[in-house]
Amino acid sequence: MLQKDNQVYVEHMIDTANKALSFVEGVSREDFDNNELLRLSLTHLLQIIGEAARRVSPDFRENYPTIPWQAVVGMRSKVVHDYLNVDEDIVWNTVKNDLPFLVKELEKILIR
């Protein structure tokens, strides 16, 4: 059974990731490159996902090794502490390629 706080964080990660995915639905890379509001929004959403992941207890993380916890938290740290050097290729690729897998794996946790 999920500890309540961990469940809240996992649900928040899923909701936020789905929001990011909805923002890029039907959006081309060129559209992304030309839309500062979208780039900033996605960067902020990745920060939120990482912050929620950071708050998940270490014991809980150990029970779900398919989730790349370190990478998710690392993205948050990069965005927060090195905000002047955020690589937009990484933001785009993370949202388009990594978030669908993350959502799928996180949803498996809630089903258990």
Catalytic machinery residues:
76, 81
Cβ-contact 24, 96 below 8 angstroms: yes
Check residue 26 and give left, alpha or beta (phi > 0: left; psi -120 to 50: alpha).
Answer: left
Q: For residues 20 and 44, give the distance between their C-alpha atoms in angstroms, rounded to a whole number.
A: 10
The C-alpha R_g of the chain, in whole angstroms, comes to 14
Helix (H) or strand (E) segment spanning residue 17:
helix 4-24
